[in-house]
Amino acid sequence: MDQKHYLFYQKQSIGTFWKNSFHLEKFFLICFLLFSLFMAGGFIYITFCSTDPAVAAPLLASVWLFLFPGMTFFCHRTVKSYWVFFQEHTVLRHGNYGYFTQKKIIPYEKATYILIGNLPPFLTPGNTNSSDWYHKKFGNYINVLDQNKSCLFTVRYSESILKLLLEKCSNAHVITVE
């Protein structure tokens, strides 16, 4: 288990994305690309119409670079920042919990409940209520809770991860949710 387990990110090619993604994702991508081309054309037109094109061109180019490739990169980094790394005696968790990015080391003994079954993730990027969307896209999740029933970490469901958690979290109770 010497790898990061990403919660909301899956490395894939454009062809795989196009084949496996939802129609809404494809529609958003096409609209985003068309809007970026429209804005690039508008910025070029405004640059030529301005009284000082030498000032307008770098300004509008930097705005365009911030809006389109910059926002895409920022969203990609935000989604990729949620991961779990299983170590020998602890779990290293990274992501936004509350309003701050946290990296936290959690001992396996702290786990009291392991929730499995048809479950969405307890945590989502940006504190949004999009857990059902991620559940549809990536499948079921394993949510690990402490004795106060607050979420310690969430990981995508797989048999190998569940087996590892059952071995490491000796005092945890498995609860199956349908």
Note the pLDDT of residue 76. Answer: 62
* Plot region of 91 (φ>0 → left; ψ -120 to 50 → alpha; else → beta): beta
Note the pLDDT of residue 101. Answer: 65
Are 117 and 178 a contacting pair, CB within 8 Å?
Answer: yes
Q: At what angle do helices 53-65 and 23-49 cross, to 10 degrees?
A: 170
Are 8 and 138 a contacting pair, CB within 8 Å?
Answer: yes
Sheet containing 83-86, strands listed edge to edge, beginning at the edge strand earlier in sequence? 4-6, 83-86, 90-97, 100-107
Radius of gyration from C-alpha coordinates of the chain: 21
First to last CA, the chain: 28
CATH class of segment(s) 84-177: mainly beta
- Interatomic CA distance for residues 130 and 123, integer angstroms: 9
Note the pLDDT of residue 78. Answer: 64
Contacts 24+ apart (CB under 8 A), 51-60: none
Note the pLDDT of residue 87. Answer: 87
User: What are the C-alpha distances in Å from 150 to residues 107, 145, 168?
Assistant: 15, 5, 19
Domain ranges of the chain: 14-80, 84-177
Alpha helices in 50-158 (DSSP H): 53-65, 71-80, 131-138
- Interatomic CA distance for residues 44 and 63, integer angstroms: 12
What are the residue ranges in the chain where pLDDT is below 50? Answer: none
pTM of the predicted protein model: 0.66
